Structure 1
Amino acid sequence: MSKADMLGDSPTFDAVAQPMSSRAASFARFSGQETEPAVGRQETLRMPVEGLAHNPFNPRVELRSIDELADSVASRGIIQPLTVVTRLAFLDAHPGQSELGRAAFVVVDGNRRLAAARLAGLDDVPVHVDDSLAESADILLETALTAAVQHESLDPLDEAKALARLVEVHGSQRAVARALGKSSPWVTQRIALLKLTPELQAAVEDRSLPVEIARNVGQLPAQQQKDAVQEALEKRAQTKERKRAQTAKGANAVSTPPTDAGVDVPEQVSTPVRILPPTSDASSVASDVPRVLQPASPQVQSPWDDGNKVADLVFEKMSASQREVLLERLLAAQGRD
């Protein structure tokens, strides 16, 4: 039993439960917001490449990076089907359009994929046919613009132009943001690129001006933009240099283990030093350079308990004249005893 059956007839419920318009329904399906399956919707088909035409109102000013995409298509094929409308539906929305050639279908979403398929030499490609996307020129334009904006590979200036045209269709930036599931500042910042001076727009195109800086500067008056860009680029360079210096400092830092980290540090042993008295002996002076500070010779323990050893030690250290003096002193001491 449906909710309407359970609630019964009610003017209020009937007003709320009105079906979506064909315009809203088709746009919801394309944007992935559909909650119920579409009745009679066609499945994926295979269409010959020569039977497809590019959308003359494609928001992409230039189809770029086709060579790289063609390499992928040649090896893996086209994974995401192209969204197309019939020639008749397209001409109903745009009478008198003569750029379709003899194609039976017009690509609404997938113009880069079609170009890559042709370059890769594919015979056919997968497509979804949905003529409800071409019920009017506005719906067709809205669908193509939304598809372009949702592709991340869209160039910043092409994206800005597509958003600006969507504002014309929806009437406000807030409505565009709501339709795309984005915030109003997101839309405002991107459209701001169109307010840049021609010189700065060219810098965005050749990627010499970062798009993040350009979007902020685009919201300033034209006469302030050049100085603002210079200041922003200088700050950006300083930030990069600071980060690079910090990285280099971290890479070259040497950690010193703490003293209590369990590492045994050998103790320094100092050599005893003795002060030499002044001497007039030239040979002694020559051998004592420097003579003020000189390592002391090892001290010998005197054997005082053994007279013979004491005598040997003393005589060894004395000259002959000094030994005679010592003997005289010893004899004199013995005589006094």
Structure 2
Amino acid sequence: MGKRVSLATIDDKPVAVAAPAEATAGIPLALLVANPRNPRQSLGNLDDLKSIATRQLQPCLVVSAKGFLALWPEDAEKVGTAQYVVVNGCRRLAAAQKFGRPELLIVHDESVAASRGELLGAAVEENIGRQDFDIIEEALAVEAVVAEYASAREAAEARGWTTGWISQRRALLKLSPDMQQALRAGDLAVRDARRLARVPAEQQVAAWKAEQEAAEQRKKAQAEERKRASTSSTPASAPPAAAPAGAFTAVNAPESGPSEPESSPSSPLAFTAVNADVPAAQVPEPRSATASAGSLDWANPQAIADLCSTHMTRNDLETMLEILTSRL
């Protein structure tokens, strides 16, 4: 089990004294209490931590009860007689209590109790990205952290987050209860949830159903289009049909250049639609096939924006904006 620690007193309260660095110290569970400000509303099924009865793979991060209560004196009743508040490792503490482990390994870092924002941020960051951390709980936790700073930008700088990510998480709190439940259940994608959050809460369910119906109709239309294309395709062995009067013929001609040989496989081909009855003198110059997205000046934001607005829907543009903002 390792070397036990001795007890000293601070303000007439017994506190565990850190053991030598080379020793493994165990703190009795009676001296520990779970963080009353834990962002997790539910610890979930603890069976995955059953092995803690015999081995603890990761220590818990704690602050002193005194340091915690200096930030939240209103939580004195919840802290009780405990000497340490577990900031990271509340599930480990609960598992130890459930499966009969009498003590836990800890890392005591009082700097975590430097401010409310610091402590809440440390509690949130342990859980971000975990599959069992409910995304609405995450959004609520982020909102609580931001509330302890002057602005979302200041919170982002302090925690190493991006303002775009903070904005995306906070937006989820604008969802109606029904939409939040759909998000939690996995029926609603986060991307779609952020878009629906811009709709008044009382209209979100109807808007979501309308989007689902529209998506289903698009799928059916695409399936029908593929079916028609498959049945109308001409067999390879069939003779070519005679071109109707006034039909256009596609004529390709390699663009000549001072440094590119005419047979260069990488040279783009230019195509001009030519009416068979039009005199050669009236045939327009071939238009370069490179005058498209392939030749777009990627250093020109205006050109990129023009291309995107031409070929993308408003919803797609809004989604792209959110993605770009989150990567700044």
Matched, 1:63 2:33: no
- Whether 2:84 is the aligned partner of 1:92: answer no
Largest Rg, 1 or 2 = 1
Deviation at 1:140, TM superposition (A): 2.9
Residues 218-239 of structure 1 deviation map (CA, whole Å, 9 limit, x = unaligned): 2333344223322444466679
Q: Secondary structure at the match of 1:98?
A: helix
Maintained 8 Å contact 1:71/1:120: yes
Count of aligned positions? 205
Matches within 5 A, 1:116-135: 116-135=95-114
Matches within 5 A, 1:249-264: none
Q: Which residue of 2 aligns with 1:81?
A: 59
1:100–1:106 contact (8 Å) kept in structure 2: yes
- What amino acid is aligned across from residue 88 of structure 2 in structure 1? D
In 2, the alpha carbon distance for the partners of 1:90 and 1:207 equals 36
Structure 1 residues 86-165: aligned runs within 5 Å: 86-95=64-73, 97-149=76-128, 151-165=130-144
Question: Does the Cα contact within 8 Å between 1:82 and 1:109 map onto a contact in 2?
Answer: yes
Residue 144 of structure 1 aligns with an amino acid whose one-letter code is A
- The AA in structure 2 aligned to 1:62 is S
Is 1:134–1:140's contact at 8 Å kept on the other side of the alignment?
yes
Secondary structure of the 1:103 match is: coil
In structure 2, relative to structure 1, the CA distance for the partners of 1:132 and 1:110 (3 Å cut) is same
2:180 pairs with one of 201, 216, 231: 201
Question: Quick one: structure 1 residues 235 and 105, their matched pair in 2 at CA, closer, same or farther if it must change by over 3 Å?
Answer: farther
In the TM superposition, residue 172 of structure 1 has moved relative to its aligned partner by: 2.7
Aligned partner of residue 82 in structure 2, secondary structure: coil
Distance 1:237 1:48, change over 3 A: farther
Structure 1 pair 177–118 and aligned structure 2 pair: CA distance change class (3 A): same
**Counterpart residue number, 1:280:** none
Whether the 8 Å contact between 1:142 and 1:169 is mirrored in structure 2 is no
How many Å separate the matches in 2 of 1:48 and 1:90?
19
Question: Which residues in structure 2 correspond to 1:1-337 (within 5 Å)?
Answer: 45-67=25-47, 69-74=48-53, 77-95=55-73, 97-149=76-128, 151-234=130-213
User: How far apart are the structure 2 equivalents of 1:55 and 1:43?
Assistant: 26
Checking the alignment, whether the CA contact within 8 Å between 1:214 and 1:229 is kept in structure 2 is no
Q: Specify the SS of the correspondent of 2:35.
A: coil
Structure 2 residue aligned with 1:307: none
Q: Secondary structure at the match of 1:118?
A: helix
What is the root-mean-square deviation of aligned Cα atoms in Å? 3.5
Residue 117 of structure 2 contacts residue 146 of structure 2 at CA under 8 Å; is this kept in 1? no
1:180–1:131: structure 2 CA closer, same or farther, 3 Å change rule? closer
Report the Cα distance in structure 1 between the residues aligned to 2:59 and 2:215, rounded to whole angstroms: 42
> In the alignment, is the contact (CA less than 8 A) between 1:217 and 1:228 conserved in 2?
yes
Which one has a larger percent helix, Structure 1 or Structure 2? 1
Query: Share of identical aligned residues, percent?
Result: 35
| CA–CA distance in structure 2, aligned partners of residues 171 and 157 of structure 1 | 23
Distance 1:196 1:125 in 2: 40
Aligned position for 1:268: none
SS in structure 2 of the partner of residue 53 of structure 1? strand
SS in 2 for 1:99: helix
**What is the TM-score normalised by the length of structure 1?**
0.51
Q: String of CA shifts for 1:74-93, please: whole Å, max 9, x gaps.
A: 47x33221100122222233
1:242, 1:113 → 2: CA distance? Answer: 52
Gaps of 5+ in 1: 1-39, 246-337
Please report the TM-score for the alignment, with normalisation by the length of structure 2.
0.52
Give 1:300's aligned residue.
Answer: none
**Deviation of 1:114 (Å):** 1.2
**Distance in 2 of aligned mates of 1:171 and 1:211:** 27
Q: State the distance in 1 between where 2:39 and 2:98 align.
A: 21
Q: 1:131–1:212: structure 2 CA closer, same or farther, 3 Å change rule?
A: same
- Amino acid across the alignment from 2:143: A
**Inter-partner Cα distance in structure 1 for 2:90 and 2:193:** 28
What amino acid sits opposite 1:89 in the alignment?
G
User: Structure 2 regions of 5+ residues with no counterpart?
Assistant: 1-19, 225-328
